[in-house]
Amino acid sequence: MTANVGTIDRILRAAIGAVLFYLAFLSSLTLFATPLFKYSAAVIGVVMLATSTLKICPIYSVLGLKTCREC
């Protein structure tokens, strides 16, 4: 697979992933005390961090989108 995630997109994905991971495991909000929200936020956070690191988004590939200029 070729890279399809640009720099700004990667930064935003990494920030959102880190925030979701923080909310899931380190925050004391009552919403994230329930397992459904806690683990959903953790999984989405890990996916966001992974797509940011790998520069590949499977959904972008299916839709034919690219946010990188180098690709």
Read off the pLDDT of residues 40-69 as tens digits, 9 standing for 90 and up.
Answer: 999 999 999 999 999 999 999 999 999 998
Mean pLDDT of 18-31: 94
- Tokens 């925050």 sit on residue: 27
Q: First vs last Cα of the chain: how many Å apart?
A: 11
* Residue 32 pLDDT exceeds 80: yes
pTM to 2 decimal places: 0.88
User: For the residues 37-42, what does the mean pLDDT come to?
Assistant: 97
